[in-house]
Structure 1
Amino acid sequence: MAKPCIICVAITGSLPRKEMNPAVPITVAEQVESTQAAFEAGATICHAHVRNDDQTPSSDPEKFARLKEGLETHCPGMIIQFSTGGRSGAGRERGGMLQLRPDMASLTVGSNNFPTRVYENPPDLVDWLADEMLTYGIKPEVEAFDLSHIHQAAAMQADGRLKGPAYVQFVMGVKNAMPADRDVFDYYIRTVERLLPGSEWCAAGIGRHQIEVNEWCVAA
């Protein structure tokens, strides 16, 4: 029997704006409507960002609470995953919504370069976010922008900072970080299987790489 394919939809992200694509859902109401359409089409995980009124990224717990309530109402049974990404806040502000107890939350366990800046994830912040997820019973999605992040996740699981089995996402195609390369993709799968046996993995391709990476995932 073939293993089921889990589809995760990132309905908004942290960068696209209405002037780039009028279809980008920005308000909570738009996000709920967009997620419901994806849910009815077969998506089972929602990776959720929220935005301020000026469309900039936000970590506002009140907005996350409204989004979570809307998704639970209109997408019953869908797995809700909050983003703790660094574009939406600084320091522990990035995890201020974890007390809402989503099913999952993103966790980047190390720093790396982005196109124009460093995506900073210092060890003390990573440990605090991981501890908050343990406290509130939240499953981390380890976002691997670099090979070292898979090794760090394995170390954190080994010493109890992460509860296994791990769930790891390969984020591919970010300029100055991990490329969208099929050989690299295959090696990352082998690395997760070797260091984190019994874990699950998924992958995201940034921008023009999304369909290509989706095809690799389905074929793997």
Structure 2
Amino acid sequence: MTKPCIICVAITGSVATKKDNPAVPITVSEQVESVQESFEAGAAIAHCHVRNDDGTPSSDPEKFARLKEGLEAHCPGMIIQFSTGGRSGAGSARGGMLPLRPDMASLSVGSNNFPTRVYENPPDLVDWLASEMRTYGVKPEIEAFDLSHIHQAVAMNRDGRIPGRLYVQFVMGVKNAMPVDRDVFDYYVRTMERLAPEAEWCAAGIGRHQITLNEWAVAAGGHTRTGLEDNVRLDRETLAPSNAALVRRTVEICEKHARPVATWAQAREILGLAMPG
């Protein structure tokens, strides 16, 4: 299989702390350093959250601006993707960083259960976030926690609310949401091929399932996500020493399946993103 595999590194998220793993980057400077190492290891997309000084989640546009500036300086060409997830803020605060015009932003198009609460994505908020992304030229990455989210993303792509080439990420292994199930994964892939054959797809697994979804996605011709947001360990006994270590593990999976790892330029071409400069 000669199609390049895009590796996304989710560096921080909103949940993992330094108590879980000291390598989790919290400050902007830590995040820039961690992304640079991951970029050099083979990641083409940086999926970014920001934190307050005490480690709690934040949606502060000023922090996102400093992070974007640092990544553009130290990781030239890398695709910068901001999170609009609901753990970092509520309502319009979730899209407050979109005027910074990152290359991409995550977009959850439906609600589902999370470990201890409902992850609410009401239709009016989804439509507003999608509208802001159109206004500022930000490409959505659809985070699909359920089959209905794939169908909704396709509908929004067809009616123009999500323009351009659709990019859908299957998220599996969140407690109380979609479990890691190979039949479901295969059906997701077939659904994408049937409803949106020109689209690109990616897969992310949570916790110990990260490596499983990396393997499935790479072998099936998709793209994949790794990083300390989703998983802080290399195995049951070993904490991951860095985001870059998880990226390198994913690169090894690509090599195992004879998949070339996408450069930042190839990733931009595959996703229909403008070249920098």
TM-score class, shorter: over 0.9
Corresponding residue of 2:45: 45
Counting only pairs closer than 5 Å after superposition, residues 52-63 of structure 1 correspond to structure 2 as 52-63=52-63
Corresponding residue of 1:182: 182
Distance 1:43 1:86 in 2: 25
Deviation at 1:164, TM superposition (A): 2.7
Distance 2:116 2:165 in 1: 34
Corresponding residue of 1:109: 109
On the 8 A contact 1:114/1:175 being kept in 2, the answer is yes
Counting only pairs closer than 5 Å after superposition, residues 79-158 of structure 1 correspond to structure 2 as 79-158=79-158
Q: Describe the superposition over 1:35-71 as per-residue Cα deviations: whole angstroms up to 9, x where unpaired.
A: 0000000100000010011111111000000000000
Deviation at 1:183, TM superposition (A): 1.2
Distance 2:22 2:211 in 1: 21
Corresponding residue of 1:27: 27
Q: Describe the superposition over 1:75-133 as per-residue Cα deviations: whole angstroms up to 9, x where unpaired.
A: 00000000000000000100000000000000000000001100000000000000000
Runs of 4+ in 1 over 4 A off after TM superposition: none
Distance 2:218 2:156 in 1: 29
Residue 16 (structure 2) pairs with residue 16 (structure 1): yes
Deviation at 1:169, TM superposition (A): 0.2
Unaligned runs of 5+ in 2: 221-277
Corresponding residue of 2:241: none
On the 8 A contact 1:165/1:196 being kept in 2, the answer is no
Distance 1:59 1:190 in 2: 35
Amino acid in the other structure paired with 1:112: N
Deviation at 1:135, TM superposition (A): 0.6
**Which structure is higher in RCO with an 8 Å CA cutoff and minimum separation 6?**
2
SS at match of 1:141: strand
Distance 1:93 1:195 in 2: 32
Q: How many residues align?
A: 220
SS at match of 1:162: coil
Amino acid in the other structure paired with 1:117: R
Identity of aligned residues (%): 82
Distance 1:46 1:84 in 2: 14
Corresponding residue of 1:75: 75
Distance 2:152 2:131 in 1: 15
Distance 2:23 2:102 in 1: 26
Distance 1:25 1:186 in 2: 34
On the 8 A contact 1:107/1:141 being kept in 2, the answer is yes
Tell me whether 182-191 or 64-73 shows the greater mean CA deviation: 182-191
Structure 2-normalised TM-score?
0.78
On the 8 A contact 1:44/1:79 being kept in 2, the answer is yes
Distance 2:181 2:149 in 1: 17
Deviation at 1:13, TM superposition (A): 1.2
SS at match of 1:9: strand
Deviation at 1:6, TM superposition (A): 0.6
Amino acid in the other structure paired with 1:176: N
Amino acid in the other structure paired with 2:144: A
SS at match of 1:53: coil
